[in-house]
Structure 1
Amino acid sequence: MKQVLHIKNMVCNRCIKVVKEELEKLDIQIEDIELGKVAISKSLDTSQTEEVRTVLHDNGFELIDDKKSQLIDRIKTIIIEKTHYSNEGKELVNFSEVIANEAGYDYSYLSKLFSSVEGITIEKYIINQKIEKVKELLVYGELTLNEISYQLGYSSVQHLSNQFKKVTGLTPSHFKKVKENKRKPLDEV
């Protein structure tokens, strides 16, 4: 019987690769794998579940069992996908609509649940993810601040700069001059 495993901190394509390789080492047949979840061909027994839990933990992931945690992880995955990996125009993303549609729940319910468990609002989480993407793009140095602002859906460079300074304490230009890498892994944002 098919089973879906929900996995916390699985936020990039390398994460998918690592999880896939580790599950294959345990002879677990994968039917489908994407950010945050893996569909396997047959249900795991208790000892297999513990093996999976251990191997995931050893690689910085976590098996999520309860529905609310799965829902919160799904919200985070949607935001990370849209902010960091989506090729569609980010200026068009209405996060509340996208999150409600993809998670299958009313946005106000999701917003309250997220805030109560995570201690920050979904909006603040989105801002933090966007700022991490700005940092990444600034470090690469391939785009102007104006292009970054447009790509991430900011109304203006000034709006991006103000938000960036509020979150990091630095202006984007000062951040770019500082040679230390102040970026965070996505699962720590």
Structure 2
Amino acid sequence: MTLFIKNMVCNRCIMVVQNELDKLGLNVKNIKLGEVTLEKELSPEEKAHFGRVLLTLGFEIIDDKKSRIIEKIKNVIIDLAHHQNSNNKTNLSAVLSNELHHDYNYLSNLFSEVEGTTIEKYFIAQKIEKVKELLVYDELSLSEIAFRLNYSSVAYLSNQFKKVTGLTPSYFKKVREDKRKPLDEV
């Protein structure tokens, strides 16, 4: 039995859901962002109980097909933007079509209709969140961040960052640093 779960966006989410399944004594075959495959079918009561537990944790079982597709699109994009540190150029439309086994135009229209934004804008927003995270960590230069996230240039990354946040990456970093207290003052 496969359950589709809304709002699973990171490895910590996977751990939380796995922990709850373990508490309920439900054996998992496979678990990944937005999807849990169990070894046995759940009774309607078990599924309802698990659904209530998930709601208290900010997750939700998805039963309708369109919502499942939207959640899968989001999970693929989050995985690409946040968890894949490959320097391979990826064609988003091809990746989504291959992963979800649907024509990209169908996926794009469905996503826009339901979410009120385009897949591309959602992907850019996720990449900018990753840029922010890397800027705050202060371990990579802007050039290294641009390379890691497959931007064609630092200028392109900077322009996109400013368009989304209203700030330049360097100003964002400075503002974040100004708000940080030294450890001994915390």
Aligned to 1:150: 147
Larger Rg: 2
Which of the numbers 50, 69, 83 marks the counterpart of 1:71?
69
Deviation at 1:87, TM superposition (A): 3.0
Q: Residue by residue, what CA displacement relative to the aligned partner does 1:120-158 show, whole Å, maximum 9, x if unpaired? A: 000000000000000000000011111111111111111
Q: Which moved more, 1:172-181 or 1:120-129?
A: 172-181
Q: Which moved more, 1:106-115 or 1:81-90?
A: 81-90
Give the gaps of 5 or more residues in structure 2: 181-186
Letter of the 1:95 partner, please give it: L
Deviation at 1:88, TM superposition (A): 2.0
Aligned to 1:122: 119
1:178 partner SS: helix
Looking at structure 2, the residues matched to 53 and 37 of structure 1 have their Cα atoms a distance apart, in angstroms, of: 14
Letter of the 1:65 partner, please give it: D
Aligned to 1:166: 163
| TM-score of the two chains, using structure 1 as the length reference | 0.91
Root-mean-square deviation over aligned CA pairs: 1.2
Looking at structure 1, the residues matched to 169 and 50 of structure 2 have their Cα atoms a distance apart, in angstroms, of: 42
Query: What are the residue-to-residue correspondences of 1:11-160 with 2, within 5 Å?
Result: 11-90=9-88, 92-160=89-157
Give the gaps of 5 or more residues in structure 1: 182-189
Task: Give the paired residue count.
Answer: 178
Looking at structure 2, the residues matched to 25 and 56 of structure 1 have their Cα atoms a distance apart, in angstroms, of: 12
Letter of the 1:102 partner, please give it: E
